[in-house]
Structure 1
């Protein structure tokens, strides 16, 4: 993008706002992919608590029951709304249709996107299936690009600013000890670079609203997806010992980071990766 196509955008947020108000998402809708899983629903609950409405997309037919019930309860308590739609991010042919339908139910404009969807797979690189490589890239990279593109078009159509948060991984920055995950690591590194590139395009482009794009790189999370791996002899001790806090993270520990990047509290933050990894990549 040439300098001639750039312009200064007005800041979001108010210098006179209280710190608590900076983190509020009132009168906004946030779309969360992977919104039926543990991390996605923790973030959904947080958005509901600060006044926003939430749309959840996930490839599963239904969300995880217990965290979904908790999110519904929070929505009722704060007079917020949450919707769940079964959608696979690799099905890009249906993306425009499902976006239009989901947004037709909302009362507030879409102004936030969090991509919590992801696919993980491992195995020795010499024998790793190229079809599996393509699948990893299709879900983790192409699916992320497609949903970000769709959200950005909505921001532009509605003439509103927006914040996009991609969940990447510490594996975008380091090689994980004890597991062979070359293709997965590469797919997550691509997500980090995608965010930087989109931030550069959408941060000051003329005829485009202000769209901030950032990433969160989580460390190991104790979820259903990691449960089987952690049962392998010595794996939990190794994963825990690889970070400075000597433990695994929990899904709820990503709420604050996501809320910060979605809200006006991060009004001058874009193109940044926030590592929430217990110091794993800082050794």
Structure 2
């Protein structure tokens, strides 16, 4: 039994009822549906954010997209809007710096009253990677990476959990980590990024432990996604370095880079009821990179 810092044993009040058990009578197709719920996506204008938004609309959820830009400027934003219309889902976009605690609270206060359905999902994609030799890497850059990738992820998860608690709504969170939280990447100097993603793994486990069984809040499952190398505009510069393409493709068991669409099904699985007995886990989708 846990003890306080003073050494006094105290009892934590856990749920007596078994939470969110599976239902064998439900069709498998329903286990990946997200109807009658709202999902928040941070870093929504990135290559992964827009791809996941379209997939989440296809599964029936409304979405609140959050990112730094005052207006949505993703190259494929029209595709996101078209998907919302096609599937008769509600799409909202708001500017947000996830590292600003006050801004996070204020932004939630803006969009929550306009929601059709309760918030039951979060996909925290907002992140930053800065390269540079550790002997020369500025402390300010290191702090910025940690602030966005770790503190920002915590703040948005915290705000989402508070709203779920206010409405007494169960939910599922997907925190985007990386295979770099497990290993170092050959040919790239990203000590700060790697450290931050390892922290996201631990944050996932810690939040899952707090929010999975306490009676004072509804059941909230928290898992992380650890992508491997993804071929996008964001990785194009690194791939121009001589030998990097062959290095990255040869570093995993499938001998290729992934594409953003290959993370749709993993995220939908973790958000939806099909993963009802999964929390505090990391789903590594890395082509076998970490399994050599």
Alignment TM class, shorter chain as reference: over 0.9
Residue correspondence of structure 1 range 185-204 to structure 2 within 5 A? 185-204=194-213
Aligned residues: 283
Give the match's secondary structure for 2:135.
helix
Distance 1:206 1:121 in 2: 41
What is the TM-score normalised by the length of structure 2? 0.94
Whole-angstrom distance in 2 between the partners of 1:223 and 1:59:
19
Aligned with 1:55 (options 46, 64, 67): 64
- CA RMSD for the aligned pairs? 1.3
SS at match of 1:174: coil
Q: Is 2:276 the counterpart of 1:267?
A: yes
Give the CA deviation at 1:66: 4.0
- Report which of the two structures shows the higher radius of gyration computed on alpha carbons: 2
Decide which of 175, 180, 188 is 2:184's aligned counterpart.
175
| Structure-2 separation of matches of 1:3 and 1:14 | 32
- 1:216 matched to 2:219: no
In 1, are the aligned partners of 2:36 and 2:61 still within 8 Å (CA)? yes
CA gap of 1:22–1:282, structure 2 versus 1, over 3 A, is same
Equivalent pair of 1:45/1:74 in contact (CA under 8 Å):
yes
| Residues 43, 127 of structure 2: 8 Å contact kept | yes
| Counterparts of 1:86 and 1:115, CA distance in 2 | 15
- 8 Å CA contact 2:45–2:72 kept in 1: the answer is yes
What TM-score results when the alignment is normalised by the length of structure 1? 0.96
Alignment partners' CA distance in 1, 2:164 and 2:111: 15
Partner of 2:6: none
Q: Structure 1 residue 254 and structure 2 residue 263: aligned?
A: yes
Long gaps (5+) in structure 1: none
CA deviations 1:178-204 (Å, max 9, x no partner) are 111111100100000000001011100
Please state which structure has a larger fraction of its residues in helix: 1
Is 1:227 equivalent to 2:236 in the alignment? yes
Point out 4+ residue stretches in structure 1 off by more than 3 angstroms: 1-4, 61-66
**Among 41, 46, 52, which residue is 1:37 paired with?**
46
Moved more, 127-136 or 2-11: 2-11
2:284 and 2:205 mapped to 1: Cα distance?
A: 15
* 1:65–1:143 distance in 2 versus 1, CA, 3 Å: closer
1:38, 1:17 → 2: CA distance?
A: 33
SS of alignment partner, residue 127 of structure 1: coil
8 A contact 2:97–2:103 mirrored in 1: no
Q: CA deviation digits over 1:1-24, x for unaligned, max 9?
A: 665321144316633110101111
Structure 2 spans left out of the alignment, 5+ residues: 3-9
- Residue matched to 2:215: 206
Shift of 1:269: 0.1
Q: Establish whether residue 5 from structure 1 lines up as the match of residue 13 from structure 2.
A: yes
For the residues of structure 2 that align with 1:67 and 1:254, how far apart are their CA atoms? 17
Paired residues of 1:37 and 1:63 also in contact (CA < 8 A) = no
Contact 1:9 1:210 in 2 (8 A): no
Instruction: After superposing the two structures, state which structure 1 stretch, 196-205 or 118-127, moved more.
Output: 118-127
Q: 3-state DSSP class of the match of 2:253?
A: coil
- Residue 89 (structure 1) aligned to one of 66, 81, 98: 98
| Deviations 1:66-88, CA, capped at 9 Å, x for gaps | 42211211111111111111111
Equivalent in 155, 164, 172 of residue 146 of structure 1: 155
Structure 1 pair 95/12, CA: closer, same or farther in 2 (3 Å)?
Answer: farther
Match of 1:279 in 2: 288
User: Cα distance, 1:28 vs. partner?
Assistant: 0.2
Equivalent residue for 2:89, pick from 62, 66, 80? 80
